[in-house]
Chain A
C-alpha cells in the first residue's frame, strides 16, 4: 500500500515536470504513442481482425483451450504480418519502377541575388583567411549558410572538385552570374530502362538497400514444433 505521504510527494514532483521544452523534444515525444510502422498493430491489422480470428479458429480446430487458441492467434497474426511486409516490398519495387527513385531530389530554386550573396560571403571569407585577418563568429555562421547554398548549386551542376581550385572558382562564378550554361538535371524516371524485364531489374537494384532492411523484419519462422507444438488432435 502506498502511503499518503508518498502520493503527495509524487504529485508535487509531477507538477514540477512540464514535459519536453525544446522543439526537438516535443516532436520526439509527440510520437511516443506510435510504434514502428511494420510492427504497429493498430491501423493495418484492425482491417484484418476478423480474418485473423477466423484463421486462428481454423488453426486451433475445435478446441476450447485458451492457451491453444492464443498460440493459434499468434500464428495467424504472424501470417498477416508476413503478408504486410510482402505488400510493402511490392509497393517499393513498383514505386521505384515508376519514378526511378524513392525520394525526389530537391529542385534548386534560388534567386540570383541569393546566389551572388552566398558567393560574396565565400570570397570575403577566403580573402580574410588569406590575408591573416581574424574571422568573427558571425562571419563563420554566414559562411556555413553560404556553403549550404553553394552546395546546392554544386549538386545541380554535378560539379566535382577535380577541376582544381582556380578553374572551380572561375566556373562557380560564371554559374552564379548566370553566364555558364547549366546542364539539364536528369529526371530519375527518365534513367529507367523502357523494356519491362530490364526496368524491373533496375527497380529492384535501386531498391536493394530498402529491400534488405525489410528482409530483416521478414524474420524466419520458428520451427513447427514451436509454432504448433501444443496443438492436439481431438
Chain B
C-alpha cells in the first residue's frame, strides 16, 4: 500500500474484529479488494473499506451457519435413531437410552457409525438424512442468519454499484473539465500563435 493510501485509510474508522479473528486475514481481504478496485481517492477508499468489511461479515456468518448445523447434528441423529429403532407398537421412551448412547458413539466409534449406516439403509436412507434433520431442527436460526446474510449481500452489491456510479460521474466530470480546459487551451494557443512568429517564419 502506498504512503498516500495509508494516510487515507488512517482517516477512516478502524474496522472492528472479534478477538478470535485475525487482523492479518482481514487485511488480506482488504488488500485483495484494493488490488482489484484500485481506489483513487478517499471516497473510493471508503467504499473499498465498506465492501471488505461486508465480505468479512458474510464469511463470518457463513461459518456460523455451518456451525449451527454441526451443533444440531447430535440431537438430529438421536431423533432419527429414535424413529429407526422404534418397534411397531413400541414407545419412544423405551429406546431413548439406546438412541442416546448410539448417537454419542457415532462421532468417535467406527462400529457405531457402521451400525447407524445399516439402520439407515434398512429404510433406504443414508447420512444425508441426519443432515436434513439437523437443518430442519435449526430452521428458525438458519432463517434469521439467512436474513442477515441477504441484507449484507445486498449492501455489498449496492456498494459495488455505488463505486461504478461514482466513478462514472467522476469520469464524466473529469471529461467535461478537461474538455473545457482543452477548449480554453486551444483558444489560448490560437491567440499565442497569432502573436508569436512561427519557427518557420
**Residues in A lying within 8 Å of B, measured CB to CB:** 48, 51, 54-55, 58-59, 75, 79-80, 82-83, 86-87, 90, 93-94, 193, 196-198, 200-202, 204-205, 208-209, 211-212, 215, 220-221, 223-225, 227-229, 232-233
Could you say which of A90, A205, A212, A233 contacts B147, with CB atoms under 8 Å apart?
A212
Q: Does B90 reach chain A (CB closer than 8 Å)?
A: no
Given contacts A86-B53, A205-B68, contact A220 B15 (CB under 8 A): no
Decide if B8 is an interface residue (CB 8 Å cutoff): yes
Alpha-carbon gap, A200 to B19, bound state (A):
11
Q: Top 10 closest A-B pairs, CB basis?
A: A201-B67, A83-B13, A224-B166, A224-B162, A204-B64, A201-B64, A224-B165, A208-B144, A58-B42, A90-B16
Assembled-state Cα–Cα distance A82/B61 (Å)? 18
Check: B71 CB closer than 8 A to any chain A CB. Answer: yes
CB distance from A102 to the nearest CB of B (A): 16
Q: Which residues of B contact A232 (CB under 8 A)?
A: 173
Instruction: Please indicate the chain B residues that have their CB under 8 angstroms from the CB of A87 in the complex.
Output: 16
Can you list, as one digit per residue, whether each of B132-154 has a CB less than 8 Å from chain A (1) or not (0)? Answer: 00000000010011011001001
Q: Which residue of B lies closest to A78 (CB)?
A: B46
Which residue on chain A has the smallest CB distance to residue B154? A220
Which residues of B are found within 8 Å of A229, using beta-carbon distances? 169
A198 to B64, CA, bound (A): 8
Given the interface pairs A223-B165, A224-B162, A229-B169, the reply to whether A202 lies near B13 with Cβ below 8 Å is: no
Known: A55-B42, A200-B67, A233-B177. A48 touches B18 (CB 8 A): no
Tell which of A55, A197, A208, A212 touches B11, judged by Cβ atoms closer than 8 Å. A55
CB<8 Å pairs between A and B, sample of 21 = A48-B13, A75-B43, A82-B13, A83-B16, A86-B15, A86-B16, A94-B18, A196-B20, A198-B71, A200-B18, A200-B63, A201-B68, A201-B71, A204-B145, A205-B67, A209-B144, A211-B148, A220-B154, A220-B158, A224-B163, A229-B169
Residues of chain B within 8 A (CB-CB) of A205 are 64, 67-68, 141, 145
Q: Which residues of B contact A212 (CB under 8 A)?
A: 144, 147-148
Which among A208, A227, A232 has the highest number of chain B CB atoms within 10 Å? Answer: A208
A58 CB, min distance to chain B CBs, angstroms: 5
A228 to B159, CA, bound (A): 13
Evaluate contact between A200 and B64: CB separation under 8 angstroms.
yes
Q: Which of B19, B147, B148, B162 contacts A221 (CB 8 A)?
A: B162
Q: Which of B12, B174, B177 contacts A55 (CB 8 A)?
A: B12
How far apart are the CA atoms of A221 and B50 in the complex, in Å?
Answer: 10
| Cα(A218)–Cα(B60), bound, Å | 17
Q: Does B111 contact A (CB under 8 A)?
A: no
CA distance A54 to B155 in the complex (A): 26
Q: CB < 8 Å: which of A201, A209, A215 contacts B66?
A: A201
Q: Is the CB of A59 within 8 A of B43?
A: yes
The answer to the question of B200 belonging to the interface, with a C-beta cut-off of 8 Å to chain A, is: no
Q: Which residues of B contact A58 (CB under 8 A)?
A: 8, 11, 42
Interface centre among A79, A87, A193, A196 (most CB of B within 10 A): A79
Q: Cβ of B68 and Cβ of A54 under 8 Å apart? A: no
Task: Say how far A42's CB is from chain B's closest CB, in angstroms.
Answer: 18
